[in-house]
Amino acid sequence: MEIERGRVLELIASVAVVLTFVGIIIAIGQTYNTDASEPGGGLIFVGAIAGFVIVMSIVGIVLAYVLNEE
């Protein structure tokens, strides 16, 4: 069973972005879990989610452009 080149690119890009997002969420959790009096952690968490959505959208657009040129 052979996988198309485009599918492999999509998979690699998606996994890389998701693993980066998970790493960011873990870093935020480790930084802000001990001091509940600091409200900045929630704002940073929301920013990380928004950033993830934006980055995934950009990756999707770039992949669609690159894969349509083939």
Instruction: Provide the pLDDT for residue 67.
Output: 83
Structural contact between residues 48 and 24, judged by C-beta atoms closer than 8 angstroms: yes
Identity of residue 18: V
Question: What is the chain's mean pLDDT, rounded?
Answer: 87
With 70 as the cut, is the pLDDT of residue 35 above it?
no
Q: Which domain holds residue 36?
A: 5-68
pLDDT value at position 34? Answer: 67
How much is the pTM? 0.80
Total tally of structural domains belonging to the chain: 1
Please list the alpha-helical segments (H only) found in 1-70. 5-32, 40-68
The whole-number pLDDT of residue 6 equals 84
